[in-house]
Chain A
Amino acid sequence: MATLEIHDLHVSVEADNGSREILRGVDLTVKQGETHAIMGPNGSGKSTLAYSLAGHPKYTITGGTVTLDGEDVLEMSVDERARAGVFLAMQYPVEVPGVSVSNFLRTSATAIRGEAPKLRTWVKEVKESMERLHMDPSFAERNVNEGFSGGEKKRHEILQLELLKPKIAILDETDSGLDVDALRIVSEGVNRVRETGEVGTLLITHYTRILRYIKPDFVHVFANGRIAESGGAELADKLEEEGYEAYVTKGGVTA
């Protein structure tokens, strides 16, 4: 069973006035089949955690360890992490002009699976996934994220999640900017992947509304660059009622 273990993770970014520590000792274990919601106010370091796990060059790891089934994730390049089974659904997916969605998906699936998927079954696989996400077939011929609406970008991220079948899926504010219908469609997509029981999910969100569709096993409140409190789904209800006030004062969130 795949396990992602984050231990005492410290991460900094380079700013104009020198380096600034954003993550200050994160401890978290995510097992295959589990869903962890990470919630917290803006600036608490949620997205930094997501991007650090994926290996974005902007972030410098200054301490701690991250392992996937015992393998050192922090030693791996960005593409190696993806091939090892870490997937990041991005909050702001990047436009890649000149590269069609279908070409991108196939290249990516080939890299992740280690061999080119058989064309016939692949076409069917993509088509069915797209239908489930209510995506028009013409989507496949458009350039990656170019001119996509907010909802289309998020569906495209979840389409990749379905096709690439990672061990650990990090969903960074996948709910942001979605209307109710799109949120439902995207959540159903995530749930289909979760129901396979083969993915550990790290659901990063500012709001509780996505948790109405995706039921977490664990909820962690992120504040001041670390996990300030952990609990079950009921912790989300408490946050819904009381907001992040308590953590902001307690944790001393920096603006």
Chain B
Amino acid sequence: MADNTPAGSTTDGAIQVGGPRQPIDARVSAPASYDVADFPVPHGREEEWRFTPLERLRGLHDGSAAEKADGAGVKVEVTAPEGVTVETVGRDDSRLGKAGKPVDRVAAQAFSSFEKATVVSIPKDTRLTEPVRVAVHGEGGVSFAHALVEIGAFSEAVVVIDHTGDATLAANIEYVLGDGAKLTVVSVQDWADTAVHAAQQTALVGRDASFKSVIVTFGGDLVRLHPRVVYGGPGGEAELFGLYFTDNGQHQEHRLFVDHDTPHCRSNVVFKGALQGKDAHAVWIGDVLIRAAAEGTDTYELNRNLVLTDGARVDSVPNLEIETGEIVGAGHASATGRFDDEQLFYLMARGIPADEARRLVVRGFFAELVQQIGIPDVEERLIDKIEAELKASVA
């Protein structure tokens, strides 16, 4: 597990254009479904599970965790500005599950097992001046959760979801955007080092709506997220930004899927990760599918990794499938580089101490991405967090 991808190398990637193929959806071991029973228990060799250490999922994948769930594992607190409705609803609420079905067994387990769901509704034509803040705090134990954020037509909002504490959590979050709505969601995984978190985050982007997702993963023993975007009408736009800092022994996996099934939609994906320490493992899967109907699509996805020490491992797999030539643009890039001894020597030879040299490089690496977030207090917090990660690890 200690093999680093050499500096500057580009990892696996594929662009398929037309022809005989195995679509992204068909590579998974079962079609999407709300029912956990529709998915076989993964054994680890399936395409969607091959990078994940199943033994560290604490039974979220094989049904054993479901028997232990007591519903008190995580505490969810929502602070919302005036005009926003926050509800706790039962399983039978007809609004739930509209953004899309669970795509793997753990997400389906979450959908089959959650008891109460949190629904945050922002009415139409509303412009929130303050973010909606969702604090998800783990208090040990196993939990299954479901949340829905719906934003009405032509409204604008920022939602910040904070995950802290210790938990074994499987969850689904849905974002449903009305026509012309603008929704920014920042999901921070700042878990304790013992937490296990698997979640599907699906956005249904309405006509001419803009969805911006910022995923920040620092903590956890194992974090496995599925950010997904589907479009409900033409003119939709999605930006998926991700930032992860994978330390000693952590497994952080981001598997995104953008489903361009609607004409004239755009997507832009930028994920950047830094890794350090023994057995730090980051996985990035970037699946983008441009279906035959999606004329005028414009999409780009990028993943960059910076390996700071020996013993860390990155798997980065961009995958772009194009079923129509009538598009504006489609591209992908992935590269993994090392902060190597020569860079360190060069900076130190200019009087800069080793830990500060490392900080300089990591800050530089993330700066461009952080600046794109566009929410000053979140940006500031991220920079502080990156500094803290660096300090903790260098010390």
Interface residues of chain A, those whose CB is within 8 Å of chain B, are: 54-57, 77-79, 81-83, 87-88, 90, 93-100, 103-104, 107-108, 111-112, 143, 160, 164
Which residues of A lie under 8 Å from residue B351 when comparing CB positions? 79, 82-83, 108, 111-112, 164
A240 to B348, CA, bound (A): 36
25 cross-chain CB contacts under 8 A: A54-B345, A55-B348, A57-B345, A77-B354, A79-B349, A79-B353, A79-B354, A81-B349, A82-B351, A87-B349, A94-B345, A95-B343, A96-B343, A96-B364, A97-B361, A98-B361, A98-B364, A98-B365, A98-B368, A100-B364, A107-B352, A108-B347, A108-B351, A112-B350, A143-B364
Partner of A103, one of B306, B354, B360, B368: B360
* Given A57-B345, A78-B345, A107-B356, A96:B361 Cβ within 8 A: yes
Which residues of A lie under 8 Å from residue B346 when comparing CB positions? 90, 93-94, 96
The B interface, classified by DSSP as helix, strand, loop or mixed, is: helix
B67 proximal to A (CB < 8 A): no
Q: Closest Cβ of chain A: how far from B338's Cβ, in Å?
A: 11
* Given A57-B341, A57-B345, A107-B356, A97:B350 Cβ within 8 A: no
Partner of A99, one of B341, B345, B354, B360: B360
A95 to B354, CA, bound (A): 17
Which residues of A lie under 8 Å from residue B349 when comparing CB positions? 54-55, 78-79, 81-82, 87-88, 90
* Given A57-B345, A78-B349, A97:B354 Cβ within 8 A: no
B342 proximal to A (CB < 8 A): yes
Q: Which of B348, B354, B356 has the most CB of A within 10 A?
A: B348
Q: Closest Cβ of chain A: how far from B387's Cβ, in Å?
A: 14
With an 8 Å Cβ cutoff, the count of chain B residues facing the other chain is 23
A94 touches B342 (CB 8 A): yes
Query: Among residues 114 to 145 in chain B, which have CB atoms less than 8 Å away from a CB atom of chain A?
Result: none
A99 to B367, CA, bound (A): 9
The 6 A-B residue pairs whose C-beta atoms are closest, nearest first, are A98-B364, A111-B351, A82-B351, A78-B348, A108-B350, A94-B346
A57 to B347, CA, bound (A): 14
